[in-house]
Amino acid sequence: MTEVLPIETPDALKDPTWWRHAVVYQIYPRSFADADGDGLGDIPGVVSRVDYLASLGIDAVWLSPFYPSALADGGYDVADYRNVDPRLGTLEDFDRMVAELHARGIRVIVDIVPNHTSDLHEWFQEALAAGRGSAARERYIFREGTGPDGAEPPTDWLSVFGGPAWHRVEDGQWYFHNFAKEQPDLNWDHSEVREDFLKTLRFWSDRGVDGFRIDVAHMLTKDLTEPLPSREELTLIPIDGNHPLIDRDDVHEIYAEWRQLFNSYDPPRTAVAEAWVASHRVPRYASPESLGQSFNFDLLEADFDAAQFRRIVTENLALAAESGSSSTWVLSNHDVVRHATRYGLPPEPADSTSHTRHGGDWLISGGDEALLDRERGARRAKAATLFMLALPGSTYLYQGEELGLHEVADIPEEERQDPTFFRTGGAEIGRDGCRVPLPWTADGPSFGFGASGAHLPQPAWFSQYAVDAQDGDPASTLSLYRRTLSLRHELQAAEELEWIETGRDDVLRFRRPGGWQVVTNFGTEPYDLTDLPGDAHVVLSSGGPAGSSVPGETTVWIAPVR
């Protein structure tokens, strides 16, 4: 049913400011829903669940990569940017998904991975075949090695996933890869690379896609003038816009060009940067001349702690004001331990070297149940989520958090997929535990994920978290998310937030326009609510009914009577 391109955005979805306060639900396509029963989630699977997505009350979905890929890094190794992995469907399926979501008022954001391609991408295959000194190698970062016969890598740099950042090819040259060796970095000084990504952005925009999430947006441009610094020298270079590898000012020349392309559509396509940069550098990515919005991962990195949460909110609202963007908030995604689990674990030691944020050490120890307080984690997660959803700005939710899902710790070694696990010889357990396929039904094969198995093993306890076990139960986490998202539309009428002092260092309270108030009790002692004006009352609680006090580890929303 391919429509004539470019596909028109439905009139109901033309508000150009929608992204400022949107709730975006992240779908990790290979683990969402499997329509053809091959164990791998797919695009028809998403189509089969559009009513579920609509029932959540979200504004948009963001799909992690669904492109052809050998899955060396869960799809972030893209072999063809303008296609759908045949195991996940076809472009026609994609068009159908966009139409079905749009018909339900849900926008679509896709993931763009511009820092590196898959080693199976036709450009890289061409580069390997063409040999040293060829034009084809110019699109990547090839160098001669050092030492006798060039048998040593050009530098001692490490990849983000562990191990060396250079890999030697058959003819003896080396190529640079910030991530896995199957993810060679592109050379963004090359005009063909720039032109090809413009083509890709146009391709998806023409298919009706509403926005883009830009993978490692702070790494694209590099200054690899010889002599290259050593790893140690690299750490001494300030990251102030001129660092050879990270957060260079010149990356915004690329995004300025992309912005022109985005703005040529009606409504303009949106973009959000995945940029792990110092706070004061975030506004560059979020400015209207650049990508327009940037992820803020501060809450995701914080403990369940009032002082940390307050500082993060204040800082990020100021940063958003500086760029003219709105802030983003996120507690879970496909790269970190789920927040229900993080909050149920003892705080990670300050000297932990684990990259699997908060919970990495617990995972490495085999997910010791004695250390995890599941109920407490779930209680705090709901409190943190209701706090986050009451903040001005847009919120990114990760599939399964609306079910209160915990991390899956006990994935057998032979079933692990994350390159981090392999590249660190198991020292880093990796991110598979948050990517286990969703439970839709309490029984049946793969808990309703598909007709047969799931590509990562699902634990027996998934049964009690299944969608059909929670649907219709007013006390379930799923019902709480639905209620919260429906009320949020009223609360987000404007973007202001004003703190109300509580006299307690473990209780945060703030006012939103229209007479709304939100209280989060991070401690365990109840917080008295006797000072409410007569016409205000609690309309939402993360922890069951709240009367004249807010119980420990609970958030309430207070509405004025109209």
The token pair at 282 is 């975030």
For residue 467, the minimal CB distance to ligand NOJ (Å) is 25
Give the single-character DSSP code of 417: -
Please tell me the total number of residues recorded for the chain in this structure: 562
Query: Smallest distance from the beta carbon of 26 to ligand NOJ, in angstroms?
Result: 10
Q: In terms of CB distance, is 252 or 431 closer to ligand NOJ?
A: 431
**CA–CA separation, 504 and 306 (whole Å):** 10
User: Of the candidates 215, 247, 348, 553, which one interacts with ligand NOJ according to CB under 6 A?
Assistant: 215
Minimum Å distance from CB 335 to ligand NOJ? 5
523/506 Cα distance (integer angstroms): 5
Q: How far is the CB of 5 from ligand NOJ (least distance, A)?
A: 28
Q: Which residues contact 534 (CB under 8 A, 6 or more apart)?
A: none
The token pair that represents 202 in the structure block: 């146009």
Least Cβ distance, residue 76 to ligand NOJ (angstroms): 3
- Contact string 270-309 vs ligand NOJ (x = CB under 6 A): ----x-----------------------------------
Q: How many CB atoms lie within 10 A of CB 330?
A: 21
Q: Where are the beta strands (DSSP E) in 13-165?
A: 23-27, 60-63, 107-112, 142-143
**Amino acid sitting at position 528:** D
Residue 36 Cβ vs ligand NOJ, minimum distance, rounded to whole Å: 24
Q: Which two tokens stand for residue 445?
A: 């094969």
- Are 312 and 300 in contact by the 8 Å Cβ rule? The answer is no
Q: Which CB, 216 or 220, lies closer to ligand NOJ?
A: 216
Looking at the DSSP assignment, which residues form a beta bridge with residue 61? 25, 108
Site track 225-264 with ligand NOJ (rule: CB under 6 A), x = hit? ----------------------------------------
Q: Which is nearer to ligand NOJ, 100 or 335 (CB)?
A: 335
Nearer to ligand NOJ among residue 212 and residue 516 (C-beta): 212
Between CA 446 and CA 488, with CA 60 as vertex, the angle to 5 degrees is 105
Residue 186 sits in the site that holds ligand NOJ (CB under 6 A): no
Q: How far apart are CA 103 and CA 105, in angstroms?
A: 6
C-beta closer to ligand NOJ: residue 121 or 334: 334
113 binds ligand NOJ (CB under 6 A): yes
In whole angstroms, the minimum distance from the beta carbon of 159 to ligand NOJ comes to 10
Closer CB to ligand NOJ, 216 or 529, in the complex: 216
CB of 65: closest distance to ligand NOJ in angstroms? 9
Does 110 engage in binding with ligand NOJ (CB under 6 A)?
A: no
- Residue among 113 and 558 whose Cβ is closer to ligand NOJ: 113
Q: Which residues pair with 519 in a beta bridge?
A: 509, 556
Residues between 305 and 334 that touch ligand NOJ (CB under 6 A)? 334
Q: Which is nearer to ligand NOJ, 245 or 491 (CB)?
A: 245
- Which listed residue (335, 361, 401, 553) binds ligand NOJ by CB under 6 A? 335
3-state secondary structure 151-177: CECCCCCECCCCCECEEECCCCCEEEC
**By the rule CB under 6 A, 428 interacts with ligand NOJ:** no
Smallest gap from residue 334 Cβ to ligand NOJ (A): 6
Spatial neighbors of 298 by CB under 8 A, at least 6 apart, are 279, 312, 315, 316
Q: Which member of 28, 62, 76, 140 binds ligand NOJ (CB under 6 A)? A: 76
Burial class (CB in 10 A: 0-12, 13-18, 19+), 350: exposed
- CA distance to 153, 161, 421, 548, per residue, from 424 (Å): 19, 7, 6, 52
User: Which of 251, 372 has the CB closer to ligand NOJ?
Assistant: 251
179 lies in the binding site for ligand NOJ (CB under 6 A)? yes
CA distance 244 to 44: 43
Q: Is 363 in the site for ligand NOJ (CB under 6 A)?
A: no
Nearest distance from C-beta of residue 181 to ligand NOJ, angstroms: 13
Position of minimal CB gap to ligand NOJ: 76
For ligand NOJ, the closer of residues 46 and 113 by Cβ is 113
Q: Which of 58, 72, 186, 216 binds ligand NOJ (CB under 6 A)?
A: 216
CA-based nearest residue to 73, from 120, 107, 109: 120
User: With binding defined as CB under 6 A, does residue 101 bind ligand NOJ?
Assistant: no
Cα dist from 388 to 309, 481, 550, 555, 559, whole Å? 10, 12, 17, 10, 17
- Residue type (1 letter), 478: L
> CB of 215 within 8 A of CB of 274?
yes
State the nearest-atom distance from the C-beta of 364 to ligand NOJ, in Å: 19
Any contact of residue 73 with ligand NOJ (CB under 6 A)? yes
Residues 6+ apart with CB under 8 A from 255: 217, 271, 285, 289, 290, 291
By CB under 6 A, how many residues form the interface with ligand NOJ? Answer: 9
Give least dist CB 49 to ligand NOJ, A. 22
The residues binding ligand NOJ (CB under 6 A) are 73, 76, 113, 179, 215-216, 274, 334-335
